[in-house]
């Protein structure tokens, strides 16, 4: 057992930093600049939204690092919530991730990919949904063939995602001539800083995964916080650079109008038709890889719950492929729910629903730092969140601000997420009673 643990602790600072960058950078930087500009109405406020989103994310990552070091269990957010707040809250966290968060993230990424693919090949506009559904089914099938296939796609896409970001940021800064600061976006209705920050949080989403590797790091107390700070600072700088570069190449109102296609249009203006197409392929690879990573990892949450009998249809959801050792039932279920969501909602609404759905549990996990410190007072050797209690309070305050703002600006989507969460309670009570009766029958 000891030997196995030592073999697993092989991740150092540089690898963990690259993992931070790789899990955070996905579709958001290419898809959300127009949404943020539209929601703020002004380029200065849009850049501020990206900065605020980055600060909230950095504070959140530093806070969760302390929680993950104190609770080095598999399951991530689900494990933290269950350990600190009990099994009911743990179930609701896993339930929301299974029914809303995971499928909504997969659905949004697939639709973004479909939109860009349709634009790239000049397919009819309605074909984006079909492309998104086919891509989801394809990647789900590939990931069922084993993690080797999923891992290969991830490695290739990590390189692909960095190339367009670096090239657009660097060349856009020097070759563009449009005004960057204090430019109106052309939208003066339904302005909301909360909605803008929520959109940036989609681009920064994925940071929660950085704490999952604490148990596999050589020196988590030292390397994990350093990796989080370094990785997220790189991401924040990259995102601000790309936004400034795009504003330097395209007028703000045109970025809003182009929406998901703004980045590829900027690339075409910077590098010509051929260069623009090459960079557009890089963007497609980035989103494809990000989607693959989500389809690879998200099914592990319902699978872990189903093994414990904590979901309806647990027998199906806990099914493992006899040859490839992959979670067949959970992967199929996540793909099916995602496809249904893709049919009924557009990608921007799905991203908002996804982030809002887990914000309450993010907030609870940040608050766990205060509760864990009260309980464990003799752990001075472990990593401590810097600038305590300010850093966790910033994370909690930012989360609360987004929750309240979203409730005010998008009540239908928020009520949907809240409703799904509350539906989980009677399901949990019923499954708990069923499992208890089963245990009693076995005992007798």
What pLDDT is attached to residue 156? Answer: 62
Task: Enter the DSSP assignment of 312.
Answer: T
Tell me: the pLDDT tens digits for 123-168? 987 899 999 999 999 999 988 876 555 555 555 666 667 778 888 8
Q: Using DSSP, state whether 327 is helix, strand or coil.
A: strand
- Cβ distance 424 to 95 under 8 Å? yes
Q: How far apart are CA 39 and CA 192, in angstroms?
A: 5
pLDDT, average across residues 263-282:
85
- Determine the Cα angle at 89 with ends 88 and 95, to 5°: 90
- For the stretch 372-412, pLDDT in tens is 988 876 666 677 888 989 999 999 999 998 888 888 877 88
Coil vs helix vs strand at 346: coil
Cβ–Cβ contacts within 10 Å for residue 427, how many?
15
Q: Measure the CA–CA gap between 151 and 117, rounded to whole angstroms.
A: 23
Helix 328-344 vs helix 127-144: crossing angle, to nearest 10:
170
Compute the average pLDDT of residues 16-32.
79
Query: What average pLDDT score do residues 405-429 get?
Result: 87
> Scanning the structure block, which residue is given the tokens 């309670």?
425
Q: Residue 146 has what pLDDT?
A: 63
Q: Report the alpha-carbon distance of residue 65 to residue 406 in Å, rounded.
A: 27
Please tell me which residue, 250 or 71, carries the higher pLDDT value: 250
- Examine the pLDDT at 8 and tell me if it is beyond 50: no
How far is Cα 161 from Cα 174, in angstroms, rounded to an integer? Answer: 21
Q: How far is it, in rounded angstroms, from Cα 290 to Cα 109?
A: 8
Residue 81's pLDDT is 93
H helix or E strand, kind and range, residue 317? helix 314-317
Say whether 12 sits in a helix, a strand or coil: coil
The DSSP letter of residue 191 is -
Q: What is the Cα–Cα distance from 365 to 211, expressed in whole angstroms?
A: 12
Q: Do 101 and 93 touch, CB atoms closer than 8 A?
A: no
The set of residues, in sequence order, having a beta carbon less than 8 Å from that of 399 and lying 6+ positions away, is: 56, 60, 359, 360, 362, 363, 366
Q: List, for residues 168-224, the tens digit of each pLDDT value.
A: 888 888 887 777 888 887 776 777 888 899 889 888 987 776 555 555 567 776 777
146 in Cβ contact with 268 (< 8 Å): no
Mean of the pLDDT values across residues 272-285?
84
Counting every residue written for the chain, the total comes to 444
Sign of CA dihedral 411, 412, 413, 414: positive
Rounded Cα–Cα distance for residues 35 and 230 (Å) = 27
6: pLDDT strictly greater than 50: no
Please check whether residue 420 is in contact with residue 96, taking contact to mean a CB–CB distance below 8 angstroms. yes
* Averaged pLDDT score across all residues of the chain: 83
What whole-number distance in Å separates Cα of residue 147 and Cα of residue 439? 34
Q: Residue 339 has what pLDDT? A: 97
Backbone angles phi, psi at 346, to 5 degrees: -85, 165
Q: Are 337 and 133 in contact (CB under 8 A)?
A: no
CA–CA gap between residue 207 and residue 100 (Å, rounded): 18
């Amino acid at each position: 057992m000891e030997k196995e643990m030592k073999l697993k602790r092989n991740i150092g600072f540089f690898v963990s930093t690259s993992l931070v960058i790789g899990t955070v950078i996905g579709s958001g930087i290419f898809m959300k600049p127009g949404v943020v500009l539209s929601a703020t109405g002004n380029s200065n406020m849009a850049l501020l939204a990206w900065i605020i989103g980055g600060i909230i994310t950095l504070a959140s990552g530093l806070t969760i690092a302390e929680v993950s070091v104190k609770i080095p269990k598999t399951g991530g957010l689900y494990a933290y919530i269950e350990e600190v707040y009990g099994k009911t809250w743990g179930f609701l966290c896993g339930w929301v991730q299974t029914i809303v968060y995971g499928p909504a993230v997969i659905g949004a990424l697939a639709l973004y990919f479909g939109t860009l693919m349709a634009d790239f090949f000049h397919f009819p506009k309605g074909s984006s949904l079909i492309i998104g559904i086919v891509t989801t089914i394809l990647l789900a099938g590939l990931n069922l063939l084993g993690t080797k296939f999923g891992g290969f796609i991830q490695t290739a896409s990590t390189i692909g995602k960095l190339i367009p970001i670096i090239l657009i940021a660097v060349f856009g800064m020097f070759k563009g001539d449009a005004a960057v600061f204090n430019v109106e976006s052309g939208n003066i209705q339904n302005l909301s800083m909360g909605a803008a920050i929520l959109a940036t949080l989609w681009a920064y989403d994925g940071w929660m995964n950085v704490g999952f590797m604490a148990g596999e790091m050589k020196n988590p107390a030292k390397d994990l916080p350093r990796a989080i700070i370094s990785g997220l600072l790189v991401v924040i700088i990259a995102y601000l650079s790309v936004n400034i570069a795009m504003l330097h190449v395209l007028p703000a109102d045109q970025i809003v109008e182009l929406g998901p296609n703004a980045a590829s249009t900027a690339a075409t203006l910077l590098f010509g038709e051929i260069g623009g197409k090459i960079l557009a392929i890089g963007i497609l690879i980035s989103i494809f890889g990000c989607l693959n990573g989500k389809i690879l990892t998200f099914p592990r949450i319902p699978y872990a719950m189903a093994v414990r009998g904590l979901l309806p249809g647990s027998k199906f959801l806990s099914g493992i492929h006899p040859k490839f050792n992959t979670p067949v039932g959970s992967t199929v279920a996540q793909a099916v729910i995602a496809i249904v969501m893709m049919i009924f909602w557009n990608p921007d609404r799905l991203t908002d629903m996804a982030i809002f759905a887990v914000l309450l549990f993010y907030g609870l996990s940040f608050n766990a730092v205060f509760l864990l410190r009260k309980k464990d007072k003799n752990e001075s050797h472990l990593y401590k969140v810097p600038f305590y209690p300010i850093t966790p309070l910033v994370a909690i305050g930012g989360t609360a601000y987004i929750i309240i703002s979203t409730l005010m600006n998008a009540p239908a989507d928020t009520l949907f997420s809240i409703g799904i969460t509350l539906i989980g309670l009677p399901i949990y009570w019923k499954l708990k009673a069923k499992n208890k009766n089963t245990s009693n029958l076995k005992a007798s």
